[in-house]
Amino acid sequence: MKNYKRVVLLLCIMLLTGALAGCGWSKKGKDKSENSTKSSEDKAVDEITLDGMVSDALSKMTLKEKIGQLFVVCTDSLDFNAETEVTEKMRKNLEEYKPGGVIFFSYNLKNRTQIKEMISDMQKTAEIPLFTAVDEEGGSVARIANSKNMQTTKFPAMAEIGKTGDSKNAYHVGETIGKEIYELGFNLDFAPVADINTNAENTEIGNRSFGSEPKTVADMVSQEVKGLQAQGVSATLKHFPGQGQCGEDTHKGYVELNATIDQLRDVEFLPFKSGISAGADMVMMSHVAVSQITGKETPASLTKLMVTDILREELQFDNVIITDAMNMKVITKFYDADQAAVMAIEAGNDMILMPDNFEQAFEGVLEAVKDGTLSESQIDEAAGRVLSVKIKRGILPESSKLFRHNEGK
């Protein structure tokens, strides 16, 4: 009977794979010499042990090391003149600032061997292992699948997945993307998009969303999260509090989300709640303003009400909160890099993505701790969440020097 069940299960998997191929999702050939990556769930560490490991690590870190963990930077911030290899200047900046992660774009991708070697070289240089991040959603926002020579599965926009009405397809997307990018050295995907596409004029989100029906989007989001993280890749719900109904683009300037808190709770929050319940490692804060709720035109990413009071406390999200890219015009037009970084931490974000000037932002946070604008306990809480996710995903191994007890103790 057990053998019969296995055969039936295998047939179901084969039929599902065939159905997905029939939808026009093509997979390019891969180097057969590469070993497939074994699926991995959250690293089996109980909460008490995890808290102890994080506390132990923080006790061994300097203030500057903890601040460094709060940043995810692009390679330009490490060496503006290098894109596809780790240079001495990159090494120096990785060693000096110890950023929490690095995000890669199409211009960093030459071929499979090159990116694997580049990421491996960065990880060897970093004393504290890095988040190695990429925007790999599918459709037009797929840095890897849309790059020549990367030989990974090319999925359609998530709107097409949503139209199937079957959340198993979203799991397949997450599982496949997770497996294939993990093989290249990536451990963090800025996906899935949890926005609900309720405005046909929205060019920033559009077909990147799973659709316009809250329940469908919520189901798809939770399954993609599970698929990604089953492969050891952290998932990111974006862009909180939801910007599907906006008509403007935050990359270009100020954007207002015209919604009340009740509207957000009834519609926009549903996919985020679903993704949080699925165990998402990160949530990305949007730069849209929600003045009907906050009473001011400040981006949601920089307001304590939206980050801490609503996302952290009301929605009970305990993992890493990261800002959207801080080099967008909606930020750079109104704030200097150091000011924006300090505001982001004050609001309750744990990580700052792509500051317009990394050194200035880093020094701004450091100075804010020294002058009392930020407390070191705030830095510890944020860095602790970053380390916690790194431990759960196996990015920061128990063999790390951060967990080694000093001699004589």
| Tokens representing residue 72 in the block | 């995810």
CA 124/CA 112 separation, integer angstroms: 18
Let me know: does 314 contact 293? Beta carbons within 8 Å: no
Which residues are registered as beta bridge partners of 193? 238
pLDDT at residue number 404: 66
pLDDT at residue number 98: 97
Report the 10 Å Cβ neighbour count for 407. 5
CA 304/CA 64 separation, integer angstroms: 24
pTM of the model: 0.88
Unique residue bearing structure tokens 């004050």: 346
Q: Are strands 188-189 and 131-134 parallel, antiparallel or unpaired?
A: parallel
CA 211/CA 166 separation, integer angstroms: 13
CA 263/CA 244 separation, integer angstroms: 13
pLDDT at residue number 16: 41
| Tokens representing residue 310 in the block | 């609503």
**Segment-wise mean pLDDT, segments of 10 residues, the chain, 409 residues:** 39 40 40 39 75 94 98 97 97 98 98 98 97 98 95 97 98 98 98 93 89 97 98 98 76 79 96 98 96 94 98 98 96 97 98 98 98 97 98 91 59
Residues 6 or more apart in contact with residue 220 via CB below 8 angstroms: 158, 161, 162, 167, 170, 192, 210, 211, 271
Question: Over the range 312-345, which residues count as b (16 or more CB within 10 Å of their CB) and which as e?
Answer: beebebebbbbbbbbbbebbbeebebbbbbbbbb
φ, ψ of residue 104 to 5 degrees: the values are -115, 145
Residue spans per domain, the chain: 47-400
| Tokens representing residue 264 in the block | 């957000």
Angle (CA) 340-345-350 rounded to 5° is 120
CA 150/CA 110 separation, integer angstroms: 8
Determine if the peptide bond prior to 299 is cis (ω within 30°). no
The third-level CATH classification (topology) of the domain covering 47-400 is TIM Barrel (3.20.20)
CA 96/CA 127 separation, integer angstroms: 10
One-letter amino acid at 149 equals N
CA 342/CA 369 separation, integer angstroms: 9
Residues 6 or more apart in contact with residue 178 via CB below 8 angstroms: 189, 227, 228, 229, 230, 231, 232, 233
Residues catalogued as catalytic: 251, 324
pLDDT at residue number 200: 79
